[in-house]
Amino acid sequence: MRMLSRNATFNSHGQDSSYFLGWQEYEKNPYHEVHNTNGIIQMGLAENQLCFDLLESWLAKNPEAAAFKKNGESIFAELALFQDYHGLPAFKKAMVDFMAEIRGNKVTFDPNHLVLTAGATSANETFIFCLADPGEAFLIPTPYYPGFDRDLKWRTGVEIVPIHCTNSNGFQITETALEEAYQEAEKCNLRVKGVLVTNPSNPLGTTMTRNELYLLLSFVEDKGIHLISDEIYSGTAFSSPSFISVMEVLKDRNCDENFEVWQRVHVVYSLSKDLGLPGFRVGAIYSNDDMVVAAATKMSSFGLVSSQTQHLLSAMLSDKKLTKNYIAENHKRLKQRQKNLVSGLQKAGISCLNGNAGLFCWVDMRHLLRSNTFEAEMELWKKIVYEVHLNISPGSSCHCTEPGWFRVCFANLPERTLDLAMQRLKAFVGEYYNVPEVNGRSQSSHLSHSRGQSLTKWVSRLSFDDRCPIHGR
Amino acid sequence: MASSASENRLLLSKIATNEKHGENSPYFDGWNKYNQNPFHLTENPEGVIQMGLAENQLSFDLVEEWIRKNPKASICTAEGIEKFRNVANFQDYHGLPEFRQAIATFMSKARGGRVTFDPHRVVMSGGATGANELVMFCLADRGDAFLIPSPYYPAFYRDLGWRTGVQIVPVDCDSSNNFKITKEALEAAYEKAQNNNINVKGLIITNPSNPLGTTLDKDTLESLVTFINQKNIHLVCDEIYAATVFSSPKFTCITEVIQNMNCNPNLIHIVYSLSKDMGFPGLRVGIVYSYNDDVVNIGRKMSSFGLVSSQTQHMLASMLSDEDFVEKFLTTSAKRLAKRHGVFTDGLEEVGINCLKSNAGLFCWMDLRRLLKDQTFDGEMVLWRVIVNEVKLNVSPGSSFKCVEPGWFRVCFANMDDDTVEVALKRIRAFVGQGKKAQEQAQVKSPKKRWQSNLRLSFSSSSRRFEQEGVSVMSPRMMSPHSPMPHSPLLRATT
What digits encode the pLDDT tens for the residues B390-402? 999 999 999 999 9
- Res. A6: pLDDT tops 70: yes
Q: What angle do CA B189, B190, B193 make, to 5 degrees?
A: 85
Q: What is the mean pLDDT of residues A439-459?
A: 36
Reported in sequence order, the residue ranges of A164-263 that DSSP labels E, i.e. its strands, are 192-198, 226-230
Active site residue B276: yes
**A contacts of B94 (beta carbons < 8 Å):** none
A110 Cα to chain B: minimum distance (Å): 14
Q: Is the pLDDT of residue B336 over 60?
A: yes
In this prediction, residue A432 carries a pLDDT of 80
Q: Residues of chain B with pLDDT > 70: what percent?
A: 85
Distance CA B128, CA B131 (A): 5
Least confident of B285-294, B343-352, B422-431, B434-443: B434-443
Q: What pLDDT band is residue A115 in, cutting at 50, 70 and 90? A: very high
CA A147 to chain centre: 9
The β-bridge relationship of strands A351-352 and A137-141 is unpaired
- Is residue B473 within 8 Å of B404, Cβ to Cβ? no
Mean pLDDT over all residues of chain B? 87
Query: Would you tell me which CATH number, out of the four given (3.90.1150.10, 3.50.40.10, 3.30.70.260, 3.90.340.10), belongs to the domain A6-52+323-431?
Result: 3.90.1150.10
Distances (CA, A) of B8 to A431, B11, B19, B22: 60, 5, 17, 21
Task: Determine the distance in angstroms separating the CA of A315 from the nearest CA of chain B, rounded to an integer.
Answer: 10
Q: Is the pLDDT of residue A230 over 90?
A: yes
Q: Which of B6, B11, B167, B314 to mutate to test the interface with A (most CBs of A within 10 A)?
A: B11
Band of residue B21 on the pLDDT scale cut at 50, 70, 90: confident
Mutate to test the interface with B, among A3, A299, A311 (most CBs of B within 10 A): A3
pLDDT of residue B453: 39
pTM: 0.89
| Nearest residue in chain A measured CA to CA from B141 | A5
pLDDT digits (tens, 9 = 90+) for B345-368: 999 999 999 999 999 999 999 999
| pLDDT above 50: residue A250 | yes
Which chain A residues have a beta carbon less than 8 Å from that of B9?
291
pLDDT value, residue B479: 34
Q: What percent of chain A has pLDDT over 70?
A: 89
Position A21 scores a pLDDT of 77
The CA distance from B338 to the nearest CA of chain A, in Å, is 21
The pLDDT of residue A379? 95
Output the pLDDT for position B77: 87
Mean pLDDT of B120-127: 97
Cβ neighbours of B158 (radius 10 Å): 23
**β-bridge mates for residue B237, sequence order:** B205, B270
For the question of residue B153 being annotated catalytic, the response is yes
pLDDT score of B454: 36
Residue B105 pLDDT exceeds 60: yes
Mean pLDDT of A375-404: 96
Using CA atoms in the order B366, B367, B373, B374, what is the torsion angle rounded to 10 degrees? 110
Q: What pLDDT digit, counting tens, does each position of B161-179 carry?
A: 999 999 999 999 999 999 9
pLDDT at residue number A352: 96
Host H or E run for residue B438: helix B418-445
The two beta strands, B122-126 and B285-290, are antiparallel
Interval B213-250: pLDDT, tens: 999 999 999 999 999 999 999 999 999 999 999 999 99
Q: What is the mean pLDDT of chain A?
A: 89
Q: What is the pLDDT of residues A143-189, one digit of tens each?
A: 999 999 999 999 999 999 999 999 999 999 999 999 999 999 999 99
Q: Where do the domains of chain B lie, and which CATH numbers do they carry?
A: 19-59+328-438 (3.90.1150.10), 73-322 (3.40.640.10)
Q: DSSP assignment of A351-380, as one string?
A: EE----SSSEEEEE-GGG-SSSSHHHHHHH
**A379-408 residues touching B, CB cutoff 8 A:** none
- Kindly list the residues from chain B whose CB atom is less than 8 angstroms away from the CB atom of residue A129: 13, 15-16, 163
Given phi > 0 = left and psi -120 to 50 = alpha, else beta, which region is B182? beta
A122 to B306: CB separation less than 8 angstroms, yes or no: yes
Question: Between helices A18-28 and A374-386, what is the axis angle to 10°?
Answer: 10
Cβ <8 Å between B129 and A301: yes
Query: What is the average pLDDT across B76-96?
Result: 92
Is 70 exceeded by the pLDDT of residue A8?
yes
Q: What's the pLDDT score for residue A306?
A: 96
Q: Which tens digit of pLDDT belongs to each residue from A255-310? A: 887 788 999 999 999 999 999 999 999 999 999 999 999 999 999 999 999 999 99
Which long-range CB contacts under 8 A does B184-188 form with residues at least 24 apart?
Answer: B185/B149, B186/B147, B186/B224, B186/B227, B187/B227
Q: Do domains A6-52+323-431 and A62-319 have the same CATH topology?
A: no
Query: Distance (Å, rounded) from C-alpha A285 to C-alpha A268?
Result: 5
The pLDDT of residue B487 is 56
Identify the pLDDT of residue B459. Answer: 34
Range A111-124 average pLDDT: 98
Each residue's pLDDT tens digit, A87-98: 999 999 999 999
Instruction: Report d(CA B100, CA B118) in Å as an integer.
Output: 9
pLDDT of amino acid A437:
66
pLDDT at A11: 64
Give the per-residue pLDDT at B432.
Answer: 86
Distance separating alpha carbons of residues A47 and A62, to the nearest angstrom: 25
pLDDT digits (tens, 9 = 90+) for A183-217: 999 999 999 999 999 999 999 999 999 999 999 99
- Please count the residue pairs, one from chain A and one from chain B, whose beta carbons lie less than 8 angstroms apart: 287
Averaged over B122-130, what is the pLDDT? 97
Nearest to A403 by CA among A142, A22, A45, A26: A142
Best of B190, B301, B490 to substitute, by most chain A Cβ atoms within 10 angstroms, is: B490
Which CATH number describes the domain made up of A62-319? Answer: 3.40.640.10
The continuous run of DSSP H or E covering A162 comes out as strand A159-163
**Do B195 and B189 form a contact (C-beta atoms < 8 A)?**
no
Query: Considering only CB atoms, which chain B residues are within 8 Å of A312?
Result: 76, 311
Band of residue A395 on the pLDDT scale cut at 50, 70, 90: very high
How many Cβ atoms from other residues are within 10 Å of residue A419's Cβ?
14
User: CA of B39, closest CA in chain A: separation in Å?
Assistant: 17
- Residue B192 — very low, low, confident or very high, per pLDDT cuts 50/70/90? very high
pLDDT at res. B422: 96
What confidence score (pLDDT) does residue B468 get?
32
CA within 13 Å, CB half, B176: 8
What pLDDT is recorded for position A453? 35
User: Alpha-carbon distance A246 to A207, whole Å?
Assistant: 11
Domain residue ranges in chain A: 6-52+323-431, 62-319
